[in-house]
Each structure stands twice: as structure tokens, then as C-alpha cells.
Amino acid sequence: MLTFLGLTALLIKIGLVVGISQGAVAYLIYVERKIAAYAQDRIGPNRCGREFGVPLGLIQPLADGAKMILKEDVIPKYVHKTTFILAPMIAIVTATIGFAVVPFGPVGAGAPRLGADWPVQFQIAPGVDIGIVYILAIGSLAVYAVVLAGWSSNNKYSFLGGLRSSAQLISYEIPMGLSILGIVLLARSLDLNTIIEWQDRHGWGIFWQPIGFLIFLVSAFAETNRLPFDLPESEQELVGGFHTEYSAMKFGMFFLGEYLHVITVSFLTVILFFGGWDLPFVLSADQTSWISAIFKVIVMMSKVSMMIVFIMWIRWTLPRFRYDTLMNLAWKSLLPLGLLNLTVTAVLAQMILGG
């Protein structure tokens, strides 16, 4: 039952997660710009805040945010107003509510306790046993943001961007689902925390499901609309794709949504394939002290940060896919590979682990 105290704790958790993730997004943009600069032998933003003694341009995100808010917010006359305004909201909401079931530390029996019977769960909604399904479902809703934005802009470029995006996101959902099923079969649960605990006992998912990991990674890139799969935006041929007509904070919300998506996907990768908070021989589900809990959160966050940096690194390495090769990759390579992987995993799991 949800008591008043429980509700307060829940609200605090939600506030913390939303606040931290939004703040993280601002700094992710900064990190992205830095990595982009480094990959091109430049230095990147380093001026902002120099007058106040802030090194390395660390308050650049504040300036970026202020710019987004203060710019003129243009709504062109020819757009479909309702959907035009709705689209960025969908983008940001779908990206945010995915965090509800993402554990960012020990949950359940491994959670540390305040007093005798007050476990502190490092998850907004602990014990949701369809965690992965929920995240996939929310992730598919994000298509609507792009499709609605592209259609309501009433502009050929945006429309093409929206079209491409809907085909791309729907295609890559299938291999993504298939790649996750392998680890779900092994851990015998859809609950993200149970999957982490299974990996804690048996070893990380990437060793059990290397092909699944590969398929998941590729489809995750496609799902987040990041290079090499950023066909919905493709600045060169579609101007800006679905967000051509957007300005000021509406554009910023798409941006925010994209980076929130990157964070969610990184969390998911770490949880499914890199053992979540698990560190072999050091951390296990049996430790329930506060020190181990904090250590677990730190381990989890470092893994997620490394994953995010890897995603950015890929972005500045690979060129964009052509549309037909993109579709070929999804339907002719990833889908059969995913099915094969799932079948082999199912057979082996049945034979070795038993029914």
C-alpha cells in the first residue's frame, strides 16, 4: 500500500531522476561538442564562463539553454497548429517516462535499509515485472513525435524526414526486441533488476549473448536517431528533417528528447549486457550495506557514462547510411540473425538449464 511517507519518497525520487537526467542532458551536449572537436583536432567550447573563473567553458550548457529559451519561437502560418505544438511534448515525455522502470542501483532484496523495514529502492517503480516491455513500448511511442512533427510542419523536407523516420524506427524495433529476448530467456524474467541479479550470479550478458548485444547496439543507434542512422534529420539533403520548422525551445525539446533517449538506451545496454551495477568478484546482490549501495550506483553510472561516450565516439566515426542499405541491414541481416540467435538460445536454454 502507498502510505504518505512512501508517496513523499516516490516524489523525491522522481524529482531527483528528472532533475539529474535533464541536467545531464545539458552537459551531454557539452560533452558531445567536446568529443566532436577532439575527433576533428579542435579544442571545442572553452570560453564560456572565463570571466567568472570557470575553467574549460563549463557553463556553456547554461548559455546554450538560455539561448534556446530566449530565441523567438516561430510557429509558421501553414502548419497544423495542434500537432505542431504537441510533437515536441511527445518527444520529451516519451523520453522521460522511460526512466520510471530503470534501476540505477540495487533494488529489491539487495536494497539498503533505513531502519529495520524501510528498504530504499534505487528505482522509481520497483518491482515492475514487465520492465523491458514497458521501455520498448514507450520507445515506440517516440515515433509519434517525429511523425507528427514531420507531418504537421506541412513542408516537403520535414515530411520526408518524418516518413523515413517512421519506417526506420518501426523496422528497427523488431531486431531490438529479438535481441533482448535472448537475455530474457536466460534470466527468465522481464524485470530489469532480476536480469541484473542473474548476471551477477552467472556472468555478464555480453558473454552469454554476444550476437544479441551486437544486434541490440545497432538497433539502439537506429532507435535514438543518432549517426550513422540519423536519416530523419540528415542535414545535408533534408535541411533539418522533421525539425526544420521548429525554433527556440520547441527545437530544444527535440534535442533534449534525443539525448534523454541516448541516456535510456545506454542504461538499457548496461543493464542487459554489462551487468548493471555488478562488478565481478567485488559487488554482489548479497551485499545490502549503504556503502556497497553507493558503490553500486557509482559503478552503474560510470558504465553508463562510458556507453554514452562510446555512442558519441561512433557518431564522429561513421558516415550516414543510405536509405536502402539501412532497410537492408534491418530486414535482411539483423532480423534473420536475431531470429537465429533467439532460436539457438531457446534450444540451449531448454537443454542445458532445463524446463
**Min. distance of Cβ 320 from another protein in angstroms?**
14
**Min. distance of Cβ 317 from another protein in angstroms?**
4
**Min. distance of Cβ 318 from another protein in angstroms?**
6
| Distance, CA of 274 to chain centre | 15
Q: Judge contact between 233 and 169, C-beta under 8 A.
A: no
**Min. distance of Cβ 326 from another protein in angstroms?**
13
**Min. distance of Cβ 323 from another protein in angstroms?**
17
Residue found under cell 556503502: 291
Residue closer to another protein by CB (options 214, 294) is 214
Rounded Cα–Cα distance for residues 299 and 97 (Å): 23
Residue closer to another protein by CB (options 37, 248) is 37
| Distance, CA of 207 to chain centre | 22
**Min. distance of Cβ 38 from another protein in angstroms?**
4
- Alpha carbon of 173 to those of 61, 109, 159, 321: distances in Å? 32, 32, 21, 18
Rounded Cα–Cα distance for residues 317 and 42 (Å): 15
Which of helix, strand or coil describes residue 113? strand
For the chain, give me the number of helices (H) and strands (E)? 13, 0
Residues within the interface to another protein (CB under 8 A): 35, 37-43, 313-314, 316-318
Residue closer to another protein by CB (options 196, 215) is 215
Which of helix, strand or coil describes residue 119? strand
Q: Judge contact between 16 and 122, C-beta under 8 A.
A: no
**Min. distance of Cβ 309 from another protein in angstroms?**
10
Of 311, 243, 256, 251, the C-alpha closest to 95 is: 256
Looking only at Cα atoms, what is the longest distance across the chain? 67
